[in-house]
Amino acid sequence: MEPLTREAPRWLPRMRFGQRTWYLVTPQEPREFLFLLLLLVPVAVVALEAPLGALPLPPVLLAGLLLAMLFGGSVEVPVFHGLRSRKPTYSTAELDILEELYHVDIRAGLATGGERVYRSKVALNLGGFGAPVVLAALILWMGPGAAFHFQAVALMLLVALATHLLAEIRPGIGFLASPALGILPIPLALLLSDRAGLLGLAAGAPGILIGLAALLVSTNREKNGAPVFSLGGAGVFPAIFLSQMLAALLVFLGR
């Protein structure tokens, strides 16, 4: 979560620690948060009403993990610090446009330290990494069997390859991917399995995350530096969230 000082809509979820207010979603993105919430609520309700045989895990657990995805989407857990990457050079006009477009304080990162080099952090997003990985692990552990596991590995590799090709590291910002990337695991899962929804839940989001990790390892950080590389963070979270919502709907439609 990020502490924010600007005025925010009263309905945004928040917590107070001492004199500071911490928001569970950044006030710059209330419409996106509201859209994701409106998408989540009916899916979570359907999950709670699903017959026990539809999933290898209790429906209430699925609904809880889907809720954790959305409300954990602003929580970053740093796992590594000190990755060297080059700071970009932007004009004032470019900074204004990028900060308005992506809701990121790029100037703060550029002003830190005297060198033109970031000591970048690698972080795991609680909602975009933690919850989907836990869900995938539970499904694979309690799932249909060996053939399903092979299908899951195949889908992960295909989605990871597509993510590596379609996502990017934007200098000064970090990972970025179109929300439409979250649709891709669904038709691939339909081609691979007769339990496409379950397969999408087990392998869609992990495939995106594997692709992002591969992108971080292979990128030229002399050109594509950022203060934080967040796996599952804001730049890719909508794609991951959408893939999980669509896969859950397929499960409840009997696919």
Q: Which residue has the higher pLDDT, 94 or 214?
A: 214
Asked whether residue 28 carries a pLDDT value surpassing 50, the answer given is no
* DSSP label at residue 126: I
Query: In this prediction, what percent of the chain has a pLDDT beyond 90?
Result: 39
CA 185 to each of CA 80, 164, 206: distance values in angstroms, whole numbers, following the listed order = 29, 14, 10
Residue 5 sits at φ, ψ, to 5 deg, of: -110, -15
Give pLDDT, residue 135.
94
| Contacting residues for 185 by C-beta, under 8 A, at least 6 apart | 155, 159, 200, 203, 204, 205, 207, 208, 243, 247
* DSSP label at residue 28: T
Contact criterion met (CB below 8 Å) for 128 and 36: no
Give pLDDT, residue 113.
58
Give pLDDT, residue 164.
96
Asked whether residue 235 carries a pLDDT value surpassing 50, the answer given is yes
Distance CA 253, CA 241 (A): 19
Give pLDDT, residue 1.
38
pLDDT tens-place string over residues 88-119: 888 788 777 776 776 676 777 777 656 778 88
pLDDT tens-place string over residues 53-95: 667 788 888 888 988 998 888 788 889 887 888 888 887 887 7
Give pLDDT, residue 31.
77
Distance CA 112, CA 1 (A): 20
Q: Enter the tokens of residue 51.
A: 């017959």
pLDDT confidence bin for 225, thresholds 50/70/90: confident
Give the pTM. Answer: 0.83
pLDDT confidence bin for 22, thresholds 50/70/90: very low
